[in-house]
Structure 1
Amino acid sequence: MQGVCSYTVAAGPNKSKLFQFRDENSIIDMGNISLAHAVHPEFVASCKYLGTMGDSRPVYIYEMEHLPGTAHIMARIPPEDMSRQRNTIKDFARFFAQSWNNDVRPCLDATTSLLMEFQSNFDLLAQNLPSRFAPNLDRVRKELPLLFSKALPFVLSHGDLNTMNLLVNRTTGNITGIVDWAESKILPFGFALYGLENLLGRMDSEGWRYYDRYRELESLFWQTFRGEAHNFSDADLHLVRAARMAGFFYHYGFNFDSKGAIQSVRTDQPDGSLAYLDAFCAIDEWAPLS
């Protein structure tokens, strides 16, 4: 399988192993992938670094478990098939609860550095995004110091939690794996919650459309999450809502390079480059969390 920065082949008995070849600009952070596997053992494959091949432009080689399942976007589970939709949502909630339950807070210097980085990033958004996003963006910027304090757990946050990276069982809808952790980083809980919206609706040529029963699925997510997350209270909801909105702005407001580094702020173009921001970040009030 050819990726943007990698090439992957299946091998071994029943193709139980994957061997991935990556260029030097997209090497895997083995610390992060090991942490992801430790926190989410049922969803994240184990990974082993095997070394490099070549001298002038070395290729980095990794061995991974071949997780079962089909990419969610390819499984094409109908929105009205609530049995399978519920299974996906409940497993996704358990995945987030596992993150909540495994606080990996960095040292004070690291959190201070992260706060300064995100304040600078969100200043760029404020300077360059259209004014329709200003109300929510201003609210997020005011909350950043609290988000990067001790108010929420710090967790390994997936950098691209889309439906291509979510593997499911076609028959049941259960999640069998979450892949592509190359852009993951330690952030306050909630920054990756943008991924939930991808299970509640879809983007088409006319913009974002929520499924008819998305509120039911959203409520099921939070009901399941609360049942699994330790010491999660109503008082946490305000900050989680702020972190979720921050995640929307961060994920959909920037163009990133192959290493996950910010290149530029997205601009308002006829191709709909700000369509996701319009769907989630231009609303008058932040969407409620059940």
Structure 2
Amino acid sequence: MASPSKDSGISLMPFFDRCKLPATVKDDCDAFVRSRYSCPVRPAPFQGYCSYTLFVGEEIAVQFRPFAHKLDIDLTRTACNIFGHLAPETEYLGQLEGTGLYAFSMRKLPGVSLADHRALSSKRSGREQIVRDFAQLQALAWQKARCAEELLDEKRTVGSSLSSRLELMSASLPLRFRRFASSLLGDISEIEALPWVFTHGDLQPSNICVNAYSGKLTGLLDWAEAEWLPFGIGMYGLEELLGEDNLDGQFVYYPEARRLRHMFWKQVMLLIPELARDSKKVSLTMKAQKLGILLWHGIAFDDGNLNRVVEEGNANDNREIQRLAVFLSHSSSTNQLKMRKISISPISPLTRIRSFLPGKV
């Protein structure tokens, strides 16, 4: 977990309500932790949807999670092996008897959540920093890539069902989005032939830790949904870095979003030269990113079930549908922003892929 912040997060009681547990279980969780540590114990000032978190001293966080959202220690270990200090070392502590909750301890990550950083600072330099660091994250994943044939027994919920999910979205997404899914369905075999990389499953501002002053990436929280996926799918998270919700809760791109997008791809090409030399693979990576957007915003979360397509008119799906509209068109549906054109130096590795970049934001 990140260090204490002003993130309002989720209050404690809804978590226990969702787990169908009495409020007194919170005291049982606290006692469980105090029996194992001598340092002061306190609830984290912000709480996630799928866990109840306690801070132990200044270096440790303990999370309680229901079975549906429990951490896989093998996966958290893989995250540490690939991303180093950007992923928290995690240990399984045991099950809280009679509750169905599983306890995990982890190293607290430094910094504040990106959501907090945005609330405290509007400096464009911070936005550039996190986009550059996100490109570095893709390069780290690429370095430990595997081929699909090696992962036959390790594919998880999303990786084992890419084609069937695209078929579902092609048939059932709101009409304006179906063409995106149908188009990608024709490319799915080639996308699956890309290198498979270890991918964080919930890239949102509250799970991204940054330095409070510089905005530099210091870590990623919540690896419960992580899995191996074709390279590019995990880039769905780039869109969340290029804008934020306005006061009406509608996602809007920053005025400099187009420049930041170009900067991201330029960095990726610089950091992964073997990718830059293969224009077809670059094109497929960009299609994989669009697939990632569809998977993370076109499939309803439904408390982790991931088996229903978002529906127009369903109030629970409004946020995801609005993001789909913005992310797939690269334009802010609630506030069209004028973007200045950016000239790309002919010696830049990005020149090789300019024809693949979208013309809008």
**TM-score normalised to structure 2 length:** 0.71
> For residue 190 of structure 2, what is the amino acid of its counterpart?
L
Q: Is 2:208–2:219's contact at 8 Å kept on the other side of the alignment?
A: yes
Counterpart secondary structure, 1:170: coil
Q: Is 2:233–2:288's contact at 8 Å kept on the other side of the alignment?
A: yes
Residue 311 of structure 2: aligned partner: 267
Which of 84, 89, 101 does residue 59 from structure 1 map onto?
A: 101
Closer, same or farther: CA 227–33 of 1 in aligned 2, 3 Å: same
State whether structure 2 residue 124 is matched by structure 1 residue 74: no
Residue 215 of structure 2: aligned partner: 173
Q: Is 2:155–2:227's contact at 8 Å kept on the other side of the alignment?
A: no
Closer, same or farther: CA 282–134 of 1 in aligned 2, 3 Å: farther
Question: What whole-Å deviation, never above 9, does each CA across 1:110-146 have from its counterpart, x for those lacking one?
Answer: 5999777222111111221122223222111111111
Residue 227 of structure 2: aligned partner: 185
Residue 215 of structure 1: aligned partner: 258
Which of 276, 279, 286 does residue 326 from structure 2 map onto?
A: 279
RMSD: 2.8
Give the whole-Å Cα distance in 2 for the aligned partners of 1:230 and 1:11: 43
- Larger CA deviation: 71-80 vs 191-200: 71-80
Percent identity between matched residues is 27
Residue 125 of structure 1: aligned partner: 169
Which of 108, 126, 129 does residue 87 from structure 1 map onto?
A: 129
Q: Is 1:115–1:145's contact at 8 Å kept on the other side of the alignment?
A: no
Give the whole-Å Cα distance in 1 for the aligned partners of 2:56 and 2:155: 44
Residue 144 of structure 1: aligned partner: 188
Residue 26 of structure 2: aligned partner: none
- Structure 1 residues not aligned, in runs of 5+: none
Q: Is 2:59–2:108's contact at 8 Å kept on the other side of the alignment?
A: yes
Task: Indicate the structure (1 or 2) with the bigger Cα radius of gyration.
Answer: 2
Residue 288 of structure 1: aligned partner: 358
Question: What whole-Å deviation, never above 9, does each CA across 1:197-253 have from its counterpart, x for those lacking one?
Answer: 111112333844221112222222222222222521233211011101111111101
> For residue 57 of structure 1, what is the amino acid of its counterpart?
T
Closer, same or farther: CA 79–275 of 1 in aligned 2, 3 Å: farther
Give the whole-Å Cα distance in 1 for the aligned partners of 2:168 and 2:261: 31
Residue 231 of structure 1: aligned partner: 274
Q: Is 2:114–2:209's contact at 8 Å kept on the other side of the alignment?
A: yes
Give the whole-Å Cα distance in 2 for the aligned partners of 1:11 and 1:249: 38
> For residue 239 of structure 1, what is the amino acid of its counterpart?
L
Residue 145 of structure 2: aligned partner: 103
Closer, same or farther: CA 118–266 of 1 in aligned 2, 3 Å: same
Counterpart secondary structure, 2:307: strand
Give the whole-Å Cα distance in 2 for the aligned partners of 1:80 and 1:61: 37
Give the whole-Å Cα distance in 2 for the aligned partners of 1:119 and 1:64: 35
State the number of aligned residues.
284
Counterpart secondary structure, 2:86: coil
State whether structure 2 residue 49 is matched by structure 1 residue 4: yes
Residue 198 of structure 2: aligned partner: 156
The Cα of 1:25 is off from its aligned counterpart by: 2.3
Closer, same or farther: CA 112–139 of 1 in aligned 2, 3 Å: farther
Residue 294 of structure 2: aligned partner: 249
Q: Is 1:6–1:23's contact at 8 Å kept on the other side of the alignment?
A: yes
Residue 74 of structure 2: aligned partner: 31
> For residue 11 of structure 1, what is the amino acid of its counterpart?
V
